[in-house]
Amino acid sequence: MKILFINSALIFSVLFFACKSKQATANTTDNSRTITNSVDADAPKTYRLIVSFISIGTGVDAVAYANLEKFIQGHPKKPSFEKKRWGREGEEDFMFTLKEFKAADQAKFISDLKAAIGKSDRVQYKENEKSR
């Protein structure tokens, strides 16, 4: 019994000191790294238009979603966009910077896009806002 206690104490102390030395090594490595400006990289970006497909317990509006994709693919300027899924029922944001367009053309694109999607209570539009 005495030998078992001594062996357990010895194993515990070896493991305790081994963990401490690894942690100290990790800290010195972290201190020697160059820290980049990660706040800017993680900050939400401002978009000219965000089209959000939302769900109220019934999933997103599939017809409106298909209309948006068809409108974008058929548009002569092929505007770039980013997609961001954020919900469990298919909720998704289409985020446009619209840098391909002049200011007057941006307004026309937005009104044409809204007309192409159609009226839906499960589609929301935000202009000049940050992403989620």
Question: Can you read off the two tokens belonging to residue 13?
Answer: 């102390």
Question: Could you tell me if 18 and 58 lie in one domain?
Answer: no
Q: pTM higher than 0.75 for the full model?
A: no
Please give the residue range of the domain that contains residue 88.
46-130
How many independent structural domains does the chain possess?
2
Tell me the backbone φ, ψ of residue 124, rounded to 5 degrees. -120, 145
Question: Can you read off the two tokens belonging to residue 14?
Answer: 């070896």
Note whether residue 39 is domain-resident.
Answer: no
Note whether residue 52 is domain-resident.
Answer: yes
* Per-residue confidence (pLDDT) for residue 132, from 0 to 100: 81
* Per-residue confidence (pLDDT) for residue 40, from 0 to 100: 55
> What average pLDDT does this structure show over 56-75?
95
